[in-house]
Chains A and B, each alone.
Chain A
Amino acid sequence: MNEELEQKVREAIRNPQNMGELKDADSVGTVGNSECGEMLRMWVKYREEKGRKVIDQATFQSFGCETAIAVASMATEMIKGKTADEALALKTEDLSGDLGALPPMKIHCAELVEGAMRSALEGREDDSPQAAGAADAPNPASSGNLIESLNSGESPSGGLKIVMLDDEADAEKNA
């Protein structure tokens, strides 16, 4: 990371915006898992504005690097007042806001944020205000917070049993 970007990231995470669970959210999206070590969950709440359903508030929890937190902070500010479609039209590079263009090794941080946002916004049923929190949408209340997910070991390989290969033949077979 170059020094200028590092400075901007530090400033952004000194006072991150919209961090934490949104209790009465209409939709929630998660990307990553505890096994790969990066997880980001985003909550979205809509409001009606001039007949359109716009994002009233978006919050996030992140178990990722500083850059992911900084991007999530900026992205959740940026999408306020936008419809889900308008927010979904934002490109990965737009989400990093004041951070500017991210170096290649940091782009995945913005992609993590984009993935969580996409997951939260695409969970909606339609654009009518009545649809907020519709039955088909993911249930934000049951999603829990990110720490709970991390602690519960939400990972694709959870529950695998360890079988010791004492027997050399067994070992050969399983090599």
Chain B
Amino acid sequence: MRTREEFEAVKIADSVLMDQEKMQEILGKWDKDGLFVIVDHQGKQGLDAASFFLGHGFNNVRCLRGGIDAWSQQVDKSLPRYKLG
């Protein structure tokens, strides 16, 4: 969804990077009824990830509409916006 570089450049407080290790941890250990929100850059790629988790029985997964780009415009303007070039 977002690369480590994107995550390190801009992130919502207390969020965690979804890397392969985290994926394994989620699939193997996380509560399938627990709420978690996938944050991508602009709310496009995250939907696939959310579908993936829904397909694996995680009933409460959500995707942040508009991604972190929308968050930085509508919720926390202290977060800088970025583009991938």
Chain A contact residues, CB within 8 Å of chain B: 1, 34-38, 63, 65, 105-106, 108, 150, 153, 157, 160-166, 171, 174
B85 interface hit (Cβ, 8 Å): yes
Known A-B contacts A37-B49, A63-B20, A164-B9; A174 and B57 likewise in contact (beta carbons under 8 Å): no
CA distance A157 to B9 in the complex (A): 17
Beyond A38-B52, A65-B56, A162-B82, list 12 extra A-B contacts (CB 8 Å): A37-B52, A105-B56, A150-B20, A153-B3, A160-B3, A161-B84, A162-B85, A163-B82, A163-B83, A165-B80, A165-B82, A174-B81
CB distance from A159 to the nearest CB of B (A): 10
Encode contact with A along B22-52: 1 for CB under 8 Å, 0 otherwise. Answer: 0100010000000000000000000011001
In the bound complex, residues from chain B placing their C-beta under 8 Å from that of A105 are: 54-57
Assess A163 versus B84: contact at CB under 8 Å? Given A36-B48, A36-B52, A37-B49: yes
Number of B residues with CB within 8 Å of any CB on chain A: 21
A41: shortest Cβ distance to chain B, in Å? 15
* B interface with A by C-beta (< 8 Å): 1, 3, 5-6, 9, 20, 23, 27, 48-49, 52, 54-57, 80-85
**Nearest CB on B from A69, distance (A):** 11
6 contacts between A and B (CB under 8 A): A65-B56, A108-B55, A162-B6, A162-B9, A164-B80, A165-B82
Known: A65-B27, A106-B55. A34 touches B82 (CB 8 A): no
Q: Give bound CA distance, A65 to B20, whole Å.
A: 12
Contact of A37 (CB < 8 Å), options: B9, B23, B57: B23
B12 nearest CB across to chain A (Å)? 16
Kindly report which residue of chain B lies nearest to residue A38, judged by CB atoms: B52
Contacts of B6 in A (CB 8 A): 162
Q: In the bound complex, how far is the Cα of B56 from the Cα of A65, in angstroms?
A: 8
Q: Are A165 and B81 in contact (CB under 8 A)?
A: yes
Given A36-B48, A150-B20, does the pair A163, B85 have CB atoms closer than 8 Å? yes
CB distance from A3 to the nearest CB of B (A): 12
